């Protein structure tokens, strides 16, 4: 097709799709010979991730990557991550090279977003705000002697993550003794009657950047045999409670506002990583202590850290309350930082700029994530749902509802090239797409780290799947929500610590019940609602069943939500006790929740009741999630590589790619809206019918035959294609992988066809 004709066709067709993504419509100019590889900016893009090494900073060093991507991939939006050795975002050399790369990418029909996280400018922050760096409080318990002094050495950690792997780590910069308590204790905790502050009686024998030596006095108190040393280590990282953090974040973003970026991203934000499971390492600072005191009517955070860790006899409720306030403090501060990053990016690059990358660090809702960010995934503001690695599907689908995202993107990598198509196909049945990460970990075999996954099967699979982007702007239809107690799962002094309901969610998915996982904090912030028809809703998703999972420590807002007299259409189920509120005061769940809410004891009962409701309402399930996502000592269920699912707008999606990663034959007849729908296709077959059972949209790979009602389409040569009706009920279409004339059978449907191409693979097999 002539390029000018193609551009005219695009400008005519795409505004009528009815699925325009207003948040991503930059309208940049494309180079003629590359345009047909990539999707227009009016449909959800195909994402990839680019990690800059030293070679990208050589003169024109960015060109090799962009030349190869433009010629051998379909990616239209690429996230450039500047985590290089001895360079920071504040340096002019970084700014100028990224500007050159962004302009060069646009010439090839590709747009860039940039990683503008403050962690890539930590030395600059240190120089300007040396008293606002992040501290880690380490609680070290030691034995005391009544005969002689005791000595103890507390050592810090050299902390490292993906932001610091190729540059200076979150190294300790200084140490400080903050407090020492003496007491007697047993398995029931500290005896509060013996608790004494002995800081003034202790001596710092030496202190360095990463360790401190302390001499403790002999004890003269009867029965006192323990002491806890509270030591602070300052690390090379901005304090999350720094008074200047938000303004510094905006300063970094504004430094890049003159570059034609599609937006910016922040990846795995939160406190520096910690794998502590004992609650003896606490992210601390004087600013956090001040904020904590405001929240708790003047309580002392250092004392409460001792209380939270060891417990004091007779003060369990006080311990639980302190933990609740400490953890919600982390959640709310991280939300504030993420949300301000989002707003600052829009102000710098325009309202249609996109804010990307995932909040998930440990890709499973677990205690490591509680420590890092308060499990803030549902409030880390994004334009599109973003996750990574083995994040459970119930989280991915929930985030797509929260952010009004027609698909979720999961940043995926593997050491095995053949795993990429598998991840791609399973994602489709779960309503998502892959955000392509280079092969990792790399090996000697995988020298071409950026491109090894760009094989022919993957390019064909990705190209077929993207046809869905033309016909639907709706996420996966999930009829069940598991709403877990956010405070409860993060409270290690409670009875249900580190249990956000993932076993229940996996059991539901395994039965073919697509389920969203949502924290109760989404009730408090108003994201979960009750609609006019009496359904619990999350974004545009209505739930037939809502399971309140272990609501211990919930506030009155949760009880008021489920007791809403208008909530008549969603079946309500409670699994788990509710005996205390957020302040750990005794409450009675029966007085806080409606009588119509079922009370059950086991996960299997919840699954059984949900199945009964869906069957009674004649709701068709999707293919059982039989694939296992494994890693990070976590397991959850995911859809198979062959099966079907339903999107929220009524689109039926069927895939087959178990034997051939580019797609297996699909020869099927299904019943939709009392109509028989027949496919003869390869890899992908998706259809949507209107209320009268007439065809509204179709997308398929290798389509040979399709029929529904009075509509039949037979092709002599199989084609990848999409066809859809616009808001004026006019047909439009896209064909892919064929440079010849549009077949007559298609021209009978519409004259408005756009041709897309599949690029040649870089990796020859």
Residue 84, burial from CB neighbour count under 10 angstroms (0-12, 13-18, 19+): middle
pLDDT of 359? 97
The kind and range of the H/E element at 538 are strand 536-538
Instruction: Identify the three-state secondary structure at position 683.
Output: coil
pLDDT of 21? 39
The Cα–Cα gap between 736 and 287 comes to 57
Beta-carbon count within 10 A of 367 CB = 18
The kind and range of the H/E element at 173 are strand 172-183
The secondary structure of the chain in percent helix, strand, coil, rounded to multiples of 5, reads: 30, 30, 45
**Contact yes or no for 288/325 (Cβ under 8 A):** no
Beta-carbon count within 10 A of 388 CB = 21
Cα dihedral across residues 98, 101, 103, 108: positive or negative? negative
Where are any strands of DSSP class E within 420-497? 432-436, 480-484
pLDDT of 691? 93
pLDDT of 2? 34
Which of 243, 320, 331 is CA-nearest to residue 283? 331
Instruction: Identify the three-state secondary structure at position 289.
Output: helix
Q: Which domains are delineated in the chain?
A: 22-121+334-471 (3.20.20), 133-238+271-310 (no CATH), 480-616 (3.40.50), 634-756 (no CATH)
DSSP lists the bridge partners of residue 676 as: 671
Question: Tell me: the pLDDT tens digits for 385-400?
Answer: 999 999 999 999 999 9
Q: What is the DSSP letter of 15?
A: G
Beta-carbon count within 10 A of 731 CB = 17
Residue 566, burial from CB neighbour count under 10 angstroms (0-12, 13-18, 19+): exposed
Q: What is the DSSP letter of 580?
A: B
Tokens for 237? 């990282």
Looking at the chain, the number of H-run helices and the number of E-run strands are 21, 37
**Contact yes or no for 325/296 (Cβ under 8 A):** yes
Length of the chain measured in residues? 765
- Rounded to 10°, the helix 301-310/286-295 angle is 80
pLDDT of 449? 59
Q: Spell out, as residue ranges, where the chain has pLDDT lower than 70.
A: 1-35, 84, 443-449, 764-765
Contacts of 311 (CB under 8 A, 6+ apart): 188, 189, 190, 319, 493
The Cα–Cα gap between 683 and 702 comes to 8
Where are any strands of DSSP class E within 203-315? 203-207, 211-216, 226-238, 263-265, 281-284
The Cα–Cα gap between 749 and 152 comes to 82
């Amino acid at each position: 097709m002539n390029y000018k004709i193609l551009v005219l066709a695009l400008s005519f067709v795409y505004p009528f799709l009815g699925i325009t993504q207003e948040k991503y419509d930059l309208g940049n100019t494309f180079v003629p010979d590359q345009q047909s590889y990539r999707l227009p900016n009016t449909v959800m893009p195909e994402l990839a991730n680019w990690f800059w090494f030293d070679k990208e900073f050589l003169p024109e060093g960015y060109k090799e990557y962009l030349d190869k991507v433009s010629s051998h991939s379909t990616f239209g939006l690429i996230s450039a991550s500047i985590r290089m050795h001895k360079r920071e975002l504040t340096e002019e050399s970084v700014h100028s090279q990224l500007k050159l790369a962004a302009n060069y990418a646009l010439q090839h029909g590709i747009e860039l977003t940039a990683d503008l996280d403050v962690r890539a400018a930590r030395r600059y922050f240190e120089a300007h705000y040396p008293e606002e760096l992040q501290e880690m409080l380490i609680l070290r318990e030691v034995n005391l002697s009544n005969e002689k002094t005791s000595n103890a050495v507390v050592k810090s950690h050299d902390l490292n993550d993906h932001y610091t792997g190729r540059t200076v780590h979150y190294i300790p910069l200084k140490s400080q003794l903050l407090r020492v308590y003496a007491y007697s204790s047993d398995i029931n905790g500290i005896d509060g009657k013996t608790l004494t502050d002995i800081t003034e009686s202790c001596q710092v024998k030496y202190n360095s950047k990463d360790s401190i030596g302390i001499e403790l006095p002999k004890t003269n108190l009867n029965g006192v045999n323990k002491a806890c040393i509270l030591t602070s280590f300052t690390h090379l990282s901005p304090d999350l409670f720094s008074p200047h953090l938000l303004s510094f974040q905006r300063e970094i973003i504004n430094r890049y506002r003159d570059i034609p970026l599609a937006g910016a991203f922040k990846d795995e934000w939160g406190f520096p990583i910690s794998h502590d499971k004992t609650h003896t390492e606490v992210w601390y600072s004087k600013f956090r202590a001040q904020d904590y005191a405001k929240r708790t009517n003047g309580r002392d955070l250092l004392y409460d850290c001792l209380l939270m860790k060891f417990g004091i006899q007779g003060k369990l409720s006080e311990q639980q309350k302190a933990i609740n306030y400490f953890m919600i403090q982390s959640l709310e501060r991280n939300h504030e930082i993420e949300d301000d990053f989002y707003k600052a990016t829009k102000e710098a690059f325009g309202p249609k700029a996109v804010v990307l990358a995932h909040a998930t660090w440990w890709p499973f809702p677990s205690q490591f994530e509680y420590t890092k960010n308060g499990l803030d995934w549902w409030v880390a503001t994004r334009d599109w749902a973003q996750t990574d690695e083995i994040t459970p599907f119930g989280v991915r689908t929930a985030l797509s509802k929260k952010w009004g995202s027609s698909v979720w993107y999961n940043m995926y990598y593997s050491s095995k090239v053949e795993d990429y198509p598998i991840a791609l196909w399973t994602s489709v049945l779960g309503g998502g797409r892959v955000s392509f990460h280079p092969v990792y970990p790399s090996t000697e075999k995988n020298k071409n780290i950026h491109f090894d996954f760009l094989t022919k099967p993957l390019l064909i699979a990705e190209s077929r799947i993207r046809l869905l982007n033309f016909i639907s702007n709706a996420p996966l239809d999930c009829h069940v929500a598991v709403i877990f107690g956010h405070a409860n799962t993060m409270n290690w002094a409670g009875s249900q610590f580190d249990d956000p309901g993932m076993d229940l969610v996996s059991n539901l998915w395994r039965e073919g019940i697509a389920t969203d996982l949502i924290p109760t904090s989404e009730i408090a912030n108003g994201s979960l609602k009750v609609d006019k028809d009496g359904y619990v809703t999350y974004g545009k998703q209505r739930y037939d069943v809502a399971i309140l999972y272990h609501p211990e420590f919930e506030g009155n807002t949760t009880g008021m939500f489920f007791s809403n007299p208008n909530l008549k259409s969603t079946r309500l189920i409670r699994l788990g006790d509710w005996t205390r509120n957020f302040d750990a005061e005794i409450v009675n769940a029966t007085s806080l929740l409606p009588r119509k809410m079922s009370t059950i004891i086991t996960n299997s009962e919840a699954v059984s009741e949900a199945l009964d409701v869906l069957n009674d309402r004649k709701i068709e399930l999707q293919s059982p999630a039989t694939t296992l996502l494994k890693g990070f000592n976590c397991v959850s269920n995911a859809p198979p590589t062959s099966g079907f699912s339903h999107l929220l707008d009524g689109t039926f999606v069927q895939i087959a790619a178990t034997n051939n990663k580019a797609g297996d034959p699909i020869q099927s007849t299904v019943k939709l809206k009392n109509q028989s729908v027949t496919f003869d296709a390869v890899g992908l077959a998706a259809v949507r019918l209107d209320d009268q059972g007439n065809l509204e949209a179709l997308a398929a790979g290798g389509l040979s035959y399709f029929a529904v009602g009075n509509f039949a389409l037979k092709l002599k040569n199989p084609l990848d294609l999409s066809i859809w009706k616009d808001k004026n009920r006019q047909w439009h279409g896209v064909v892919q992988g064929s440079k010849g004339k549009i077949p007559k059978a298609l021209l009978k449907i519409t004259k408005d066809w756009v041709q897309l191409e599949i690029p040649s693979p870089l990796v020859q097999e």
